[in-house]
A and B are shown apart, each in its own frame.
Chain A
Amino acid sequence: MSYQNFRIILIRLHAQFVKELLCILRDPRNRVVVFVPPLLQLLIFAYAATLEVRNVDIAVYNQDTGREAQEVVWHLEAARFIAHVHHVHSNTALREQLTQGKVIAAITIPADFSRTIAINGSGHVQVLVDGRRSNSGQIVTGYLSTIAKDIRFTANPVPAPETSVVVRHWFNPNLVYLWFMVPGLTGTLAFFSALMITALSIARERELGTFDQLLVSPASTLEIILSKSLPALVISTLLAFLMISMAVWFFHIPFTGSFGLLLVGLILFILSAVGIGLVISAISMTQQQAILGGFVIGVPTVLISGFATPIENMPVLLQWLSQAIPLTHFLIIIEGCFLKALPPWDILANLWPLAAISLTTLPMAIIFTRNRLQ
């Protein structure tokens, strides 16, 4: 290829690149739409997608009048995770509270509770937990047993000669859920941003009739795809940057790994998302189809990526499938870079699948766009 030809290709690419950027960012409303919702979502989801249990209500049916029983009630009322303790006076009322979902757990203190403690040094209370909210229920059970332990200690100050296990959590010693939620969300939101920007790009031009105009120009399909990839890459990477900065300076999540490696991972990750988005766009005839396509691909992708549930618990088939999803690999990279200073070779092990996915989806987008010409 002569220098002259190369220069003309560069001019064409530059014109298209500017056009794409302007299409996304020229309109002030569009600018807001591209950047603000993901950042807001990060803020909202970071607090909404919590696994901690707070502000729950509990029902207590206290049949005992003794001091120990009262002690239990006081402890419950003082517990920080409980918003309200409902006192009921019959088993029926207790059941009602639970079945109507007004409380997450219902506690019955039997009439002989204080007496049994006086004789045996320990007593029993019945705890009924709402199984419909299994996760929170389990956590509440855990909290309640801690309270029970405290009471036993007050009732019987002689420490029990038991071997206790002391648990120490690595990487996130206090199990702050924000520490793993925010990096994960960053990946997910950046993925959706890149997917949607590109999914709409060709479909929009088809719908408006400008795509024909582009196709009759000397620009080749490769150039068209290239010039549609770059602006999305720039914008989504910038967005991910903003979210990472928020994680570090707003959520104060320790960043222990290599920033350079995270950046390489981020670019490959966005590129693979861009490839998927362009394939969707190449197939779609209208923007509506493209948006639907984005969701049909996007939502399962997030669910299978291991963002919310561990991949190890999935059926084997889905575990394989998850390896073909860019988000799976990027989640390992970003969570690793934040919390556990993931060493370079571990990052590399997740970088090459990202590169492989990009190298599959981007050529696919070119082929699909070309085939649509028939």
Chain B
Amino acid sequence: MYTAAIPPVSAATEHDKAAIVIDQLNKHFDNVHALRDLSAKIFYGRLTGLVGPDGAGKTTLLRILAGLLRPDTGHVTLADFDVVTNNDAIHVISGYMPQRFGLYEDLTVIENMHLQAQLRGMDTSQQTALFTRLLDFTRLAPFTKRLSGKLSGGMKQKLGLACALMARPKVLLLDEPSVGVDPVSRQDLWHMVQELTGEGMAVIWSTAYLDEAERCDSVLLLNEGQFAFDGPPGELTQHLRNRSFRLEAVGTQRRAVLAEALDLDSVSDGVIQGASVRLVLRVGSSPEQIQMLANRTGAQLVPVPARFEDAFIDLLGGGPGGTSALAEHLPPVELTTSSAVSCHNLTKRFGDFIATDNVSFEVHKGEIFGLLGPNGAGKSTTFKMLCGLLKPTSGEAHVVGLDLRRAPGIAKAQLGYMAQKFSLYDLLSVQQNLEFSAGVYGLGSNIRRDRIEEMISIFDLRRWLSVAPGSLPLGHKQRLALACALMHRPPVLFLDEPTSGVDPITRREFWTHINGLARKGVTIMVTTHFMDEAEYCDRVAILYRARLIALDTPDALKRDAASANCPDPTMEDAFIHLIETSALTDEIEI
């Protein structure tokens, strides 16, 4: 465990006082030791990131801080009040925003705010100034009359935040506020929270997105119920100085290069970034091997600054290897048509509302194609029309040259589908789920037996065969879902936000398989909120307000977003840039 001295953030003495003191905290659930001997201090006027993979204990810790769970042993004080003995005071002094804030979907924005105020015993007629301020702050003022069930994910989070801020808390606890929120709304949330810490509030922001950790003043890294790190994020990344490199201009070879690099003993972690491959070396390894790799592939090896995510993966002992056992077992895909997926003037209307407006594109065999867009931009609608879950109002969608409306059975047999929500039958065992997936795609008993056996050994599922999928560890759930989607060896694979809420290690393993599949010629259609994942795509389509506003390689999109202020934009910068320019042109048109 790395512990860093916490530097003073500001001169004000108030800021040096700890807002939260956690002392020797332990919590068990049945047999699970959820939190182990946690001790830490959290300060006023500072944004503290509570970072860690799913199931690390983030929510449990936050619920204890909010006075909603009792610790088994140990003490926690929040603004000098003990969370157990002074429980009532905690609810007054803290604001807590759970993962899904308890908004009443059938009430309007302003009704929800009134209700929350009244629940806190406030007289709503006296508080118009407060409401106006909160609505301005969250930029929800134009939507006060809208039902909160009709808000986008990002707007719901902002309303949740407004409700949590109602009582002007000294300590604000936010549980994964950015899950399912697009980058633009995410940026809004960040600005709001920074303003609050500026006023002296202590804010805890829990997240599974490691790039968010870098923006925090201080980070508590939670892994398997223990703090793996406590301090400013820069402190942790320092340990990785001179260990992060980028192989630039690898081009079409990048998936093969990544796979090869990950199998080297000197490399601990690697990801694709557009046409480049980003690699992290193991402690004490020299860049010799990757230099050789660069020379052989004609790429340039450039040292890059370490990211928080590099440090995290390194702490956990490095990412998975680069070879996908799954892809090795698959025969190369043969297609008679040149385009694997295509759509032409695809349009979908729901009453007056246009969800997808005249979208056309073509995806080639073996391509990884990303569909991105802010919440409510029509990304899901388009995706659902492409895989036959929705009927287009007009226009056409083809999979492997087959029209989903005219030959649904044959066309559907050509595609595999993995949903954002974990969608296996929890009432069936793992084995039965595999049997069902094989059966529903019409595999005869001999092939079925072989394929299931193959999936079990590739994904190492043997010891889990008789349990319900819901009780699998997260990584295994992901593997099982992929196994079920690929049982019939489809030439096209649809992934709808496949790694939402999945920890970075599992995500890397997942992408190792996806990269392997793409190299075998499987076409991958993916929607995602992770800008990191957009980097894995060959091409990215960005939808905004139902229209296709950009379609290009990730590198080209980043290049277009480069400006004097931001010479080396990230994918996220590029995304925000595109949305903002598009919103601007819309306004000019009006």
Contact = CB atoms under 8 A, between A and B. Distances in A.
A215 B389 contact: yes
Contact of A26 (B422, B427, B442): B427
Contact of B424 (A12, A30, A210, A217): A210
Contacts of A16: 436, 439-440
Contacts of A30: 427
Given A15-B435, A18-B436, A210-B423, A216 B389 contact: yes
Nearest to B390: A374
B406 interface: no
Nearest to B414: A218
B377 interface: no
Given A213-B417, A218-B442, A374 B391 contact: yes
Contacts of B463: none
Nearest to B411: A218
Interface in A3-31: 7-9, 11-12, 14-16, 18-19, 22-23, 26-27, 30
Contacts of B409: 218, 220
Nearest to A27: B427
A219 B494 CA distance: 17
A204 B443 CA distance: 26
Given A15-B440, A18-B435, A18-B439, A216 B387 contact: yes
Contacts of B432: 18-19, 22, 26
Contacts of A213: 417, 419, 423-424
B441 interface: yes
A157 interface: no
B440 A208 contact: no
A209 B384 CA distance: 13
Contacts of B350: 374
A346 B203 CA distance: 77
Contact of A15 (B410, B423, B438): B438
Contacts of A96: none
A212 B412 contact: no
Interface in B379-423: 387-391, 408-410, 412-413, 415, 417, 419, 421-423
A15 B439 contact: yes
Q: Which of A9, A18, A30, A374 has the most CB of B within 10 A?
A: A374
Interface in B133-172: none
Given A18-B439, A217-B412, A373-B389, A210 B425 contact: yes
B444 interface: yes
Interface residues of B, number: 34
A216 B391 contact: no
A210 B438 CA distance: 15
A26 B435 CA distance: 15
Contacts, number: 91
Contacts of B388: 215-216
Given A209-B422, A212-B417, A217 B441 contact: yes
A220 B410 CA distance: 11
Contacts of A23: 425, 427-428
B439 A212 contact: no
Interface residues of A, number: 29
Contacts of B421: 208-209
Interface in A198-247: 208-210, 212-220
A12 B442 contact: yes
B211 interface: no
B408 A19 contact: no
B275 to A, nearest CB: 32
Contacts of A212: 389, 417, 419, 423
Nearest to B448: A11
Contacts of B423: 208-210, 212-213
Given A26-B428, A209-B423, A214 B391 contact: no
Given A210-B423, A373-B389, A14 B439 contact: yes
Given A15-B435, A212-B389, A213-B417, A219 B425 contact: no
Contacts of B387: 216
A11 B494 contact: no
B413 to A, nearest CB: 4
B5 to A, nearest CB: 47
B453 interface: no
Which of A7, A19, A30, A213 has most B Cβ within 10 Å? A213
Nearest to A10: B442
A7 B444 CA distance: 9
A373 B408 CA distance: 13
A210 B388 CA distance: 15
B378 to A, nearest CB: 15
A21 to B, nearest CB: 10
B435 A8 contact: no
B12 to A, nearest CB: 49
Given A19-B425, A374-B391, A218 B444 contact: no
B176 to A, nearest CB: 20
Contacts of B105: none
A30 B350 CA distance: 39
Given A216-B388, A218-B410, A11 B442 contact: yes
Interface in B425-475: 425-429, 432, 435-436, 438-444
A27 B428 CA distance: 9
Interface string B349-392: 01000000000000000000000000000000000000111110
Contacts of A374: 350, 390-391
A229 to B, nearest CB: 17
Contacts of B438: 15
Contacts of A214: 440
Contacts of A22: 425, 427-428, 432
Contacts of B412: 216-218
A219 B427 contact: no
Contacts of A8: 442
A218 B442 CA distance: 8
Closest 9 CB pairs of A and B: A15-B439, A8-B442, A209-B423, A209-B421, A216-B417, A218-B413, A23-B427, A218-B409, A218-B412
Interface of B: 350, 387-391, 408-410, 412-413, 415, 417, 419, 421-429, 432, 435-436, 438-444, 494
29 contacts: A9-B442, A11-B442, A12-B440, A12-B442, A15-B438, A15-B439, A16-B439, A18-B432, A19-B428, A19-B436, A22-B425, A22-B432, A23-B425, A26-B427, A26-B432, A209-B419, A210-B424, A212-B389, A212-B419, A213-B423, A214-B440, A216-B387, A216-B388, A216-B389, A216-B417, A217-B412, A218-B409, A218-B441, A373-B390
Given A12-B440, A27-B427, 19 more contacts: A12-B441, A12-B442, A15-B436, A15-B439, A16-B436, A16-B439, A16-B440, A18-B436, A19-B436, A22-B425, A22-B427, A23-B427, A26-B428, A209-B421, A209-B423, A213-B423, A216-B389, A218-B408, A373-B389
